[in-house]
Structure 1
Amino acid sequence: MSEPLTVTRIAHSCHLIQIGEKTILTDPWFSEKMFYHPGEPVALRPETLPHLDAVVISHEHYDHCDLRAFRRYRDHDVPMVVAGPVVAKARKAGFTDVTPLEPWQTAKIGDITVHAAPGLHGVYEVTYVIQAGGRSVYFAGDTLLTPELLTLGKRHGTFDLALLPVNGLTIRMAGNKQVVMNADDAAELAAALRPRLVVPQHYAFTGGAVGDRLILRSDKDPGLFVKAVERLAPAVAVRVIDTGSPLVVAP
């Protein structure tokens, strides 16, 4: 029998995933600075987080790896599974239990299994399949769509939940280079994975008035993803969740 699964959006790609009594935090981001604004309320602060059994970090960008703020979390021995370039940053921030994973490698943290999958972004990135208590969650950080990701269902079976980036972020100063999945890309991945539920992430982010006008371009409406799923993956349930609102995922 599978255990209860709940996801709580903190902001951006930062979530609490609770499977039974186990709690996993994804891509911590709790603060802001010039050109990096969540664009939505941040639901929790590091010092108010519940006990964490694991943390996964997809890559080293500040809005996914806010270790300066996360140092305020009370337990610096919390197990962390990270992309290779994050290791030194995590240890410098005082975290002691840090495991790097390459794509297709696996780590066990008690009853939690974390499989790394490929990612493609402006810097080195991995994405994660998180399994525990008979449940399976795919967390996609802010990757682009790659052919390897379309095979995850065959590799790992049925997903209860997929958390997919959808804002199609492009860098104006790099010739409008796209570095994150857009709504249609994410819906195509949802169609391939066929999770019981898909939830969009990484859409409210803003570089501020100057950053959005001169540096970045992105789609900030998750409704675009909802419409894309209805068109490209009509058998997949989709939900947009507000920050701080726990969502129970049915078995």
Structure 2
Amino acid sequence: MTESLTITRITHSCHLIEIGGQIILTDPWFSQRPLYNPGEPIAMMPEDLPHLDAVVISHEHYDHCDLDSFRRYRDKNVPMIVAGPVAEKARKAGFTNVRALEAWETAQVGDLTINAAPGKHGVHEVTYVITSGGRSVYFAGDTLLIPELLTLTDRFGPLDVALLPVNGLHIRMAGNKQVVMNAEEAAELTSVLRPKLAVPQHYAFTGGRIGDRLFLKSDKNPALFVDAARRLVPDVPVKVIAPGEPLTIAP
């Protein structure tokens, strides 16, 4: 029997995924710093989170791995599945049940199967295909589009939801280097993976007026992805989720 699937966006790439009756938190971010602003509300604080069955963290950048804030979450034994460089940071933050995965490795947490997939970013990154109860979600962190991602459904089967970064972030100080897939590339990936639903993430982020002008360049409008997906794969629906908005995906 296919079980329930609900996605609740907290902010940026931080979501609650309720799949098969279990709840997973992705890439915790609950605060802001100079040059790091979600650009949208943060819908929930760590102390307000429901019981979590697992946490996945794609990489060590603060806007995806805000452990200083997340340590306020009450259960320090929550299973944390993380990219390798995050493991020591999570343990230093007081979390006791931490496991690092590399691409194509798998962890079992209760009835959840968490498959690590490749990612490419400014630091070491993994992405995740999370399955349970006959449902499957791909969480792409803030990776670039790389050829390995085109094989995900061949390896793991059909996807119910793909959570994809879309802002095409460039680092001006590094020769305008691109470090995150853009809307067109996310739509290209959608056209190959063909999930039942595609959801953009990682778009509202801002470095503030100074940071955006001097250091960062990105697209902040998720409608760019909506339009690109409609052109490239019109039969796959796209949903932009506001912070705090739960979205239940029908079987």
TM-score bracket for this pair, using the shorter chain length: over 0.9
- The one-letter code matched in structure 2 to 1:65 is C
Structure 1 equivalent of residue 43 of structure 2: 43
Partner of 1:224: 224
SS of aligned partner of 2:191 = helix
Within-5 A mapping of 1:1-251: 1-251=1-251
Shift of 1:21: 2.0
Counterpart residue identity of residue 80, structure 1? M
Distance in structure 1 (CA, Å) of the matches to 2:43 and 2:2:
28
Shift, 1:150, TM fit: 0.4
Structure 1 residue 178: Cα displacement: 0.2
Instruction: Let me know the Cα RMSD of the aligned residues.
Output: 0.5
One-letter code aligned to 1:12: H
List gaps (5 residues or longer) in structure 1.
none
CA distance in 1, matches of 2:192, 2:209: 36
**1:206-239 residue CA offsets vs partner (Å, 9 max, x unmatched):** 0001000000000000000000000111121100
Deviations 1:34-62 (A, max 9, x none): 10000000000000000000000000000
| Contact 2:20–2:135 (Cα < 8 Å) also in 1 | no
Given that residues 165 and 186 in structure 2 are in contact (C-alpha distance below 8 angstroms), is that contact kept between their aligned partners in structure 1?
yes
Deviation at 1:12, TM superposition (A): 0.1
Where in structure 2 are there 5+ consecutive unaligned residues? none
Report the AA paired with residue 141 of structure 1: G
Partner Cα separation in structure 1 for residue 122 and residue 24 of structure 2 = 25
- Return the alpha-carbon distance in structure 1 between the equivalents of residues 250 and 120 of structure 2: 30
Question: TM (normalized to structure 2)?
Answer: 0.99
Distance in 1 (CA, whole Å) between partners of 2:227 and 2:155 is 28
Measure the CA separation in 1 of the matches of 2:157 and 2:91: 34
Question: Aligned AA for 1:20?
Answer: G
Q: Which moved more, 1:62-71 or 1:16-25?
A: 16-25
- Cα deviations across residues 53-78 of structure 1 (Å, max 9, x unaligned)? 00000000000000000000000000
Structure 1 moving runs of 4+ over 6 Å: none
Distance 2:75 2:102 in 1: 25
Q: Distance in 1 between matches of 2:124 and 2:163?
A: 19
Query: 1:131-185 CA deviation, whole Å, 9 max, x = no partner?
Result: 0111000000000000000010111111000000000000001111000000000
